[in-house]
Structure 1
Amino acid sequence: MIIMESRRKIRVLYRKCGSIKEVSRSTGISIPTVRKIIKSDEAVAASYKRSVQPHPKLGSYKETLEKLLRDNKLAKPKRNGVMLFEALRDHGYDGSYSAVARYIKAWNGRTSGTSPNACIPLSFAPGEAFQFDWSTEDVMICDEVVTVKVAHFTLCYSGKKFTYIYPNETQEMVFDAHVRAFGLFGGTPVRGIYDNMKTAVQKVLHGRDREWNQKFERLCAHYRYEPTACTPARSNEKGKVERQVKIDRDLFFTPMPCGSSLQELNDRLMSQLSYYNNTHKHPKYKDKTLDEVFAEEKPFLIPAPVLFDGCKETDIRISNTCLARFDRNSYSVECCVSGKIVQCRSYADKLIFIYDGREVGQHVRRFTNGGTYYDWQHYLPLLLRKPGALKNGSPFTGMPLPDELLAVQNHLLQHPNGTRDFAHILSYIPAESMESVVAACDETIKSGAISKDVILNILLRKKDKPYETEAAPNIVYMKLKYTPTEDCGIYNQLLNVGA
């Protein structure tokens, strides 16, 4: 093999002397080889390519290996290179695996009509489809790095996109992302393209058929669109949203965004997203922005009549401390359902507890681990039986009270049984409302007579209905036959007697 340095020297010497024989004599390389290098019109390359690949060990087994490869093309499941190597050894082959692997690669290249990475460009009509995908990103919340999930939507025709950050990708987050995205778009396309996420696909069947999750089917039926799943491990089938994930990561998550809460990051993201859709040029219609092309697509979207109730329903038994355990955290509910089973409706941002068709608790959803979250008003009815809990009860620690109630509390605690009296006043809040109790406290403060009895008396008096005299019915009196003629005024003279 003539190395690159020898080729350079041959060409330089020939340029100087102009004689092939002289170059051959000077370099010791044969005249035919020198002539071939000088006459060659090909660019000088630093590579060597064999014209014939020898197979000293595999030579007599090539036909056997090719038969195994042809049979393997139609087989399901297919055998990999190691399995084919073992099958060839059963026929007596005693060579190396690397020789077999090289031959398999060359054979696949000769027999395959297309590259496995080749794709066909896709084209979509207005309102035909959207694509959805999740990505994993890192953000900084309160000086702590947090891994979050980001929902990505893109309309296949206009390219208008929607992106939102969530703490995880559970089904409630999927529902909330769809509600927000379709609200931004003002409707839904005919078809939605997904990968085979577990929150949507119950079971992968033959081909494109899928057994969809029942709650996800309810979402699709509400917004009247057809879900379509990609082939497993074929992300190129939803290439638009895959490309969007990379763009969003560069635009919105590099460098790492920082904020005090997830809501703050989402508010900032919505502002950036609106600017992007309004200014970024469409890749096909380069004289228009994404929003301008979306304005053409919007009439083809189907608007939803009402918002989808995207909650997950779970039955939970309430503990004797009036706590419901959900997703590694505990939340308080009304004490009347202690020990009973309630329904928890979990949303992306809140939890609602229902018992017998009535709401018995509502909390902001937390994503911590092992936390307990109280609403102190849930425990107020228990204060009638356990007023001492007002001092050390966890729900009442640091409870936010209006100024009027704080003033009453400070006054009552200066007297014996002040804690019991104040607990008695608080126990009326569930029945009378916070506003009524605060108004009664304000009235007693102004009057200067602050006591439990006065406050409760004011509350009860406000419930009493004012006395109303009933109008006398129309009475028909008997008519006198003879009208009296005597003057009865003479009797008034008796009033002056003794005056």
Structure 2
Amino acid sequence: MSKIELFAAIRRDLAAGMSGRAIEEKHRVGRRTVSAAMASALPPPRKTMPPRGSKLDPFKPAIDDILRADLDAPRKQRHTIRRIYHRLLDEHGMADISYQVVRTYVADRKPKIRAESGRGPIKVFFPQTHRPGAEAEVDFGEVVINLRGEPVTCMLFSFRMSFSGKAIHRIFASGGQEAFFEGHAHALKRLGGVPTGKIRYDNLRSAVAKVLGFSRQRIETQRWTAFRSHYGLDVFYCQPGIEGAHEKGGVEGQIGWFRRNHLVPVPRVDSFDQLNAMIDQWDDQDDVRRIGARDRTVGDDFAVEQPLLMRLPDDDFETGIWLTPRVDRYSQVTVRTNRYSVPVRLVGRPVRVQLHASHLVVYDGREQVAWHERLMAKGGSRLDLDHYLEGLIRKPGALPGATALEQARAAGRFTPVHDAWWAAARKAHGDAAGTRALIEVLLLHRHMLHEHVVAGLATAVRAGALTADAVALEARKFAEADDRPSMSPPAPRALPANVISLTERRLAQLPADTRPLPTVTAYDQLLRRRAEGTGS
């Protein structure tokens, strides 16, 4: 039993009301281990040894060929394990490998080869009756959405209650372990509890590290064991491949129904958050539908089973994965073969990255320094022009060809108005000075709304005002006329109406000076005393 499974067993016994001393005696552990299991379902990480190869690996193809040939051989003239072992010794030069190692591999591989050839046993199907609040099914399905004008293939997560047919859906950029966990956490929160019985799964890599033959036994991934222990999930793994699809046919059909009824035509959205908000509404609307020939709606049946669900744990499980990459000389971090920008002041330093299913957050210590939507393809880059502005002030010649600038143009954040003002500034002040002025304008976006800065740029271009101060002045006028709250803090007092210069405007931002005017009366008294002393 691994340590994470030990923690899961301890937490089960604690939930059943067993005392700490009884748990210590049962599992032969100390008080600290019991306390650690009470505090968290995830034990402290430990160093893992690299996997070891087997001496039998070079001879496995030969064994597979023998087993395939036996499929067409007479029943009484097929290879025994001992005959296979001797052939490996005589014909393939095998040495220093025991008979037991060969026997274990053949016992595991022989039924697989028979099933792969289509000669497995005949399957019989039986109708099932599901108890309220007890069973559920989980699966992923591919869907296509139109994300910011481009077709993108995503993964639809579905968690379906078997009794009522109530299903919770979520769309993610990928079907990795982060999406698997986030989908569960969202579904259980929306359902308001945890099923008391089995939850059926495929042999997803997010949950299953290894399938042990054709049995129901699985070696689970460590984080999945901790996750299901945290929520108290009781899992059931279907048979591998297409043959096990019927064991969770409810969720297989549910994904197809949802895709046809809600994702046709292909939805056009600007973000995954916007799409998932729509999906939550669709899930609520589906409560009024009837499945097949049922006389009750999905919502009616779910109202019966919802009170029977187990209570959710008080604290949430951290579904994101923490990574610690180092910022390279391009001010980027590499996460899952993709590159994401961070502020240039962090070049050469390690940072912390919290990877979620559809986005990632970069921290410098406890300070959040970057947020990026996760890339779905491999080998891509997502760069934020704002992260490079401090470096571009020193090297303005790098801006025209910068990849971050091209991505900002494609995303609509660097507009044709920016280009027009930049071209005029370079013509008036030269390439270097004009580009530095543009960078100062781009810095305004950090504390002013994007549309206010763009409006200020447009006014400055028409007026021929080609300095960052002039753009800031015009942008502030638009911000004051806008009813929406500005990103910058409010002025301490109202500005006078007759401000005609930037200097006066800056002084007007300061609070009123109530101090008395300076006086030299005290010093004049000293001068009189000195004069009187000299005269005597």
Query: TM range, normalised to the smaller chain?
Result: 0.5 to 0.7
Q: Select which of 284, 295, 308 maps to 1:300.
A: 308
Identify which range, 377-386 or 143-152, moves more after superposition: 143-152
Deviation per CA, 1:185-230: give whole Å up to 9, x if none: 23322343323322112345697654432322343344x2223132
> Is 1:131 equivalent to 2:137 in the alignment?
yes
1:82-231 equivalences under 5 Å are 82=70, 88-89=76-77, 117-118=123-124, 122-135=128-141, 137=142, 139=144, 149-166=155-172, 168-191=174-197, 192-204=199-211, 210-222=218-230, 224-230=231-237
Q: Select which of 413, 421, 432 maps to 1:400.
A: 413
- Decide whether the 8 Å contact of 2:139 with 2:251 is kept in 1: no
Identical amino acids, percent of aligned pairs: 22
Cα distance change of structure 1 residues 415 and 90 upon mapping to structure 2, 3 Å threshold: closer
1:290 match: 298
Q: Normalising by the residue count of structure 1, what TM-score does the alignment of the two structures yield?
A: 0.57
Give the drift of 1:447: 11
Identify which range, 450-459 or 383-392, moves more after superposition: 450-459
> Is 1:332 equivalent to 2:335 in the alignment?
no
Give the SS at the match of 1:259: coil
1:244 match: 251
- Decide whether the 8 Å contact of 2:145 with 2:154 is kept in 1: no
- Decide whether the 8 Å contact of 1:316 with 1:344 is kept in 2: yes
2:439 match: 426
2:371 match: 362
Cα distance change of structure 1 residues 279 and 388 upon mapping to structure 2, 3 Å threshold: same
Letter paired with 1:187 = G
Distance 1:234 1:406 in 2: 55
> Is 1:319 equivalent to 2:332 in the alignment?
no
Distance 1:364 1:227 in 2: 33
Structure 2: segments with no counterpart, 5+ residues: 1-66, 80-120, 474-501, 517-536
- Decide whether the 8 Å contact of 1:138 with 1:145 is kept in 2: no
Q: Select which of 429, 432, 440 maps to 1:416.
A: 429
Cα distance change of structure 1 residues 392 and 170 upon mapping to structure 2, 3 Å threshold: same
Distance 2:260 2:383 in 1: 35
Structure 1: segments with no counterpart, 5+ residues: 1-78, 92-114, 472-499
Give the SS at the match of 2:133: coil
Distance 1:167 1:85 in 2: 49
Distance 2:415 2:77 in 1: 86
Deviation per CA, 1:344-388: give whole Å up to 9, x if none: 322222122223232222111221344332211011111221122
Cα distance change of structure 1 residues 218 and 118 upon mapping to structure 2, 3 Å threshold: same
Give the SS at the match of 2:324: strand
Give the SS at the match of 1:340: coil
Distance 2:369 2:308 in 1: 43
Deviation per CA, 1:43-66: give whole Å up to 9, x if none: xxxxxxxxxxxxxxxxxxxxxxxx
Distance 1:131 1:310 in 2: 20
Give the SS at the match of 2:183: helix
- Decide whether the 8 Å contact of 1:259 with 1:265 is kept in 2: no
Give the SS at the match of 1:152: strand
> Is 1:377 equivalent to 2:386 in the alignment?
yes
Letter paired with 1:385 = R
1:346 match: 355
Distance 2:167 2:290 in 1: 11
Distance 1:179 1:400 in 2: 34
Give the drift of 1:171: 0.8
- Decide whether the 8 Å contact of 1:130 with 1:154 is kept in 2: yes
2:526 match: none
Letter paired with 2:183 = A
Cα distance change of structure 1 residues 408 and 236 upon mapping to structure 2, 3 Å threshold: closer
Cα distance change of structure 1 residues 452 and 441 upon mapping to structure 2, 3 Å threshold: farther
Give the drift of 1:293: 0.8
Distance 2:184 2:438 in 1: 46
Cα distance change of structure 1 residues 133 and 430 upon mapping to structure 2, 3 Å threshold: same
Cα distance change of structure 1 residues 452 and 253 upon mapping to structure 2, 3 Å threshold: closer
Could you say which structure has the larger radius of gyration?
A: 1
Letter paired with 2:288 = N
Cα distance change of structure 1 residues 334 and 470 upon mapping to structure 2, 3 Å threshold: same
Letter paired with 2:354 = R
Cα distance change of structure 1 residues 90 and 337 upon mapping to structure 2, 3 Å threshold: closer
Number of equivalent positions = 367
Letter paired with 1:426 = I
Letter paired with 2:341 = S
Distance 1:296 1:340 in 2: 55
Letter paired with 2:186 = R
Letter paired with 2:389 = L
Q: Normalising by the residue count of structure 2, what TM-score does the alignment of the two structures yield?
A: 0.54
Distance 1:326 1:424 in 2: 34
Letter paired with 1:175 = F
Give the drift of 1:279: 1.4
